[in-house]
């Protein structure tokens, strides 16, 4: 997922970090805003859903191709 986000948003995202945790922690933040929490959302995101959430924070006006098609 990190590689997919980096390649999609290479101009908008300067850095992504993987932080170790315990107890199944899986959280994603963008610009200090929590956009996904495995505990709160009860699971892991699909990559298209995650890309939309990241886009909405880091580049809201950007079209991200096939994930924006209805």
In angstroms, the CA 26 to CA 6 distance is 18
Residue 28 has pLDDT above 80, yes or no: yes
Mean pLDDT to the nearest integer, 2-12: 87
Whether domain 2-68 has CATH 3.40.30.10: yes
Q: Is the pLDDT of residue 31 over 80?
A: yes
The two three-digit tokens of residue 59, written as one number: 């580049």
Please determine, for residue 66, whether its predicted confidence score (pLDDT) is greater than 70: no
For position 70, what pLDDT does the model report? 57
Average pLDDT over residues 1-29: 83
| DSSP-assigned letter for residue 15 | -
Reported as a pLDDT band with limits 50, 70 and 90, residue 20 is confident
Query: What is the pLDDT at residue 67?
Result: 65
């Amino acid at each position: 997922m990190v590689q997919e986000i980096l390649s999609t948003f290479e101009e908008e995202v300067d850095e992504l970090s993987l932080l170790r945790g315990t107890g199944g922690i899986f959280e994603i933040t963008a610009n200090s805003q929590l956009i996904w929490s495995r505990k709160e959302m009860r699971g892991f995101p699909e990559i298209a859903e995650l890309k939309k959430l990241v886009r909405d924070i880091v580049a809201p006006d950007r079209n991200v191709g096939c994930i924006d098609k209805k």
